[in-house]
Structure 1
């Protein structure tokens, strides 16, 4: 894959293939793609194992726009003060969306981003994942959280409060952009709903990718950034050189 090919575009094909094959109990190789995670319980049924490997790159290569493109996108984002949290609820961002036959978006992301993933039906019951935020190797789906790159509450404060529930559902289940990322539960809890001005991945090698992906999501969904957030993102993009 070329050095600046967005990882999540490659993941679209593998995720679609995985959803079909896993639900039919067929083994399939998983290619590199963006990160994600959360807990998933095992169900009865024969297990299927992926023979390929996927890992989250912390180098910043192959994810998000190239540094110059990301800088250009950042310059075009509307700068505004953070909006009110009045009326906010995670329930206004329904997730995880069903992907058929007891599969959901969470399952799809775990399958897409894991290495040597094993399934029981559509549920992921084993595998390994690399946490983008802190570089930890996670060896069970119960250790993985699926984080929203741009947190739901941050999206609410930067424009999503005016959206319909249907649009917020699309945002919360977005597999087309680098919005869903597999990380350790501890790093996800540490991040909460903070933006890059107040929280950054402890693995500084991930800063380039993190900034690119954050900018890509805010650009696609036409969300605003604060002055401090924009400044922090610009600083993080310096890690791309």
Structure 2
């Protein structure tokens, strides 16, 4: 007959063997989490999906072919909506913006008078025309010019807006380099949604600007 000590030792050995078999035969399978897709990664994918083409002609272009600003109230329009979106301490008369504070993301200039602030089309109307909007009707061009859903409209300094004109990112970039990432993301988002093309130089510039994103 085994002693009590021998019995305990045998029981311990049996338990150890059972655990070893269980571990070997029942190793849990842990699914590796899918890598999170960053906003920049998604935009880079959108950029790759854009059609690269030479810029179209300006024949037939006029800003009047992109009707704006649409009315959004009795005495206000899309411009007022953007001023409210991008401003601080905004003062209204009805729904018309009459005061507030704005800082231009393009160059850092600040304003307290809404009349000194321009509303920029991130993708300029003339650039859109050369990128495929010449094939749209005026109603669709109006939707593009008044697009409040995409990041197409931004309140900036008149100086920066006019320096930019209708140039793409290969020709003009905001003086504020810290805004390059956001500017490129917004440009690509707008062009991707509206199915507009990019030139090869434009795509290269956008790729470079997206590399500034952290």
- What TM-score does the superposition give when structure 1 sets the normalisation length? 0.72
1:168 and 2:168 aligned: no
Indicate the SS of the match to 2:129.
helix
In structure 1, how many angstroms separate the alpha carbons of the residues matched to 2:54 and 2:105?
28
Structure 1 equivalent of residue 93 of structure 2: 120
Indicate the SS of the match to 1:116.
strand
Report 1:77-226 matches (<5 A): 77-226=50-199
Bigger fraction of residues in helix:
2
In structure 2, how many angstroms separate the alpha carbons of the residues matched to 1:208 and 1:100?
34
In structure 1, how many angstroms separate the alpha carbons of the residues matched to 2:75 and 2:101?
22
1:68 and 2:31 aligned: no
In structure 1, how many angstroms separate the alpha carbons of the residues matched to 2:154 and 2:210?
19
In structure 1, how many angstroms separate the alpha carbons of the residues matched to 2:163 and 2:102?
19
Indicate the SS of the match to 1:153.
helix
In structure 2, how many angstroms separate the alpha carbons of the residues matched to 1:121 and 1:198?
40
Q: CA deviation at 1:121?
A: 2.0
Larger Rg: 2
Uncovered stretches (5+) of structure 1, i.e. residues with no partner: 1-64
4+ aligned runs moved over 2 Å, structure 1: none
In structure 1, how many angstroms separate the alpha carbons of the residues matched to 2:190 and 2:63?
18
Q: Which has the higher contact order (CA 8 A, sep 6+)?
A: 1
In structure 2, how many angstroms separate the alpha carbons of the residues matched to 1:120 and 1:128?
16
- Provide the aligned C-alpha RMSD in A: 0.9
Indicate the SS of the match to 1:219.
helix
Indicate the SS of the match to 1:239.
coil
Indicate the SS of the match to 2:212.
helix
1:81-121 per-position Cα deviation (integer Å, ceiling 9, x unaligned) = 00000000000000000112122101111112210001122
